[in-house]
Amino acid sequence: MSYVNINNATVAPASQEMLKQIHVAFGATPNMFRAVSNSPAALKSMWGSFGALGSGTLGAKLGEQIAVAVANRNRCEYCLAAHTVLGQSAGVSGSDMSAAQIGKSTDPKTQAALTFALKIVEQRAAISQADVEAVRAAGFNDGEIVEIMAHVALNLFTNYVNVAFNVPVDFPKVALKAA
């Protein structure tokens, strides 16, 4: 049971229009959005970030791989389940999503992004110039590096919401893995 309201009928009226958009986008209203809808400002921020990053330069595949790596590291079962489904819908194979979950990829550029994203999480953004140079050497420009950081920040927020408020998982469950 969630520690916050996830009943659409009783959320703030200012959240109702965004929840309709979310319902159209997903074909349902995921529980995470229901939980965040208690704050219209938080919902607007989160939904806007998903939209902005979804049309970013990194692409949906890499964005979802970053999301599962961050979710697994933060032990967020909700985001792990949701982003595994979204990643596969974006065209990432099940085996590649599973590898990304522990920060691994056979593609060197993806590997560099996952390594960088997890360093941001693990070191609370206290990364070094060498860390930035490593991801740059893999082929990412400064805009893409900042976009990786934005993906991490958005996923930290959603992970924390789901873990802190015990939001019920409404996607097919995926087992957490040891880091």
pLDDT digits 0-9 by tens, 2-36:
899 898 888 888 999 999 999 999 999 999 999 99
Q: Which pTM does this prediction carry? A: 0.96
- 137: pLDDT strictly greater than 90: yes
CATH code, residues 60-164: 1.20.1290.10
Task: Tell me 139's DSSP state.
Answer: T
Spans of all domains in the chain = 8-54, 60-164
Q: Kindly list the distances between the CA atom of residue 113 and the CA atoms of 53, 131, 174, in Å, as whole numbers in the listed order.
A: 15, 10, 22
